[in-house]
Structure 1
Amino acid sequence: MYHAIVRRKVRALWRIAGDGSGNYRPAVAMAAPDLRFRFIGDGVLGAELRGPAAFADWFERANRCIPGMRLSLTDVVVKGWPWNTDVVVRLRIEATLADGSLYENEGIQWARIRWGRMVEDTVLEDTLRLQQAWERQQTATAAAVGIAVTGRG
């Protein structure tokens, strides 16, 4: 029963946070004061940080990099008990970039929850696809305002 409740809450959270509106506040509200967040990779969104404020800042950066990102769950696995719960989410990422092209990616989130608070969150995404999308976004945005883009961001 506990696992079904957690799955339902995770799905509800992702419906809000992943609808493309940039409303990440419910995810940040779940973060424990000592949250450890990692977005694996050296690309534009790569991060290893601690705490809800830094977590919120990361979401702000993600929303600036690729506005309107939509995230949908394809699977949720829950194991453990309220004092030590692992939640693994498989997700699909989509966005329409500034040049009109479609960004599509997939990712995995592994979170650890203790007594309803997220204490650890690790996200793995195809960072090459993400980097290429960000570069297309930068080029299209710069072209829209008449600025030449050179090199990598």
Structure 2
Amino acid sequence: MIGHELREFVDRVMDKHAIDDQDVKLLQREILADSVMTRDVVDVLVALDRAVATKAASFANLLVALVVDFAVWESRPTGLVDRDKAHWLVASLAAGEGPTPTARRIAFEIVREADRCDEALLAFVLRSGIARPSAASAERVLLAS
């Protein structure tokens, strides 16, 4: 379930078909500052990334940071992207016509950041044509899975 403030933010952004730097500051400093991140909130923000064509680069940066932090460190088990979490992430990030560049970046950064990662997310990263990690990084990710 998402809060009233986030719902109003989404409505306003969808009405103007854009997310500017001021919107990102509002989202970061006021709307999400004291809220608990949940899968529902992540899903809404990822969908917003997909739905709005004109976005400030700061939105992508914030979204990547929020989702990686939530998926890897805030949700249990920490440091581990288990099967359930991986399937949720793949479904959320790939919805619609496939992953956006930001969604691909989120997936790659989660795989890079996590101590261990389920093969479903790893396969998604590899299938999505995301910038290939170095051989050493790829080997570490594969061994950790």
| Pair in the same fold by TM > 0.5 | no
TM-score by length of 1: 0.26
Q: Which has the larger radius of gyration?
A: 1
TM-score by length of 2: 0.27
Bigger helix share: 2
Bigger strand share: 1
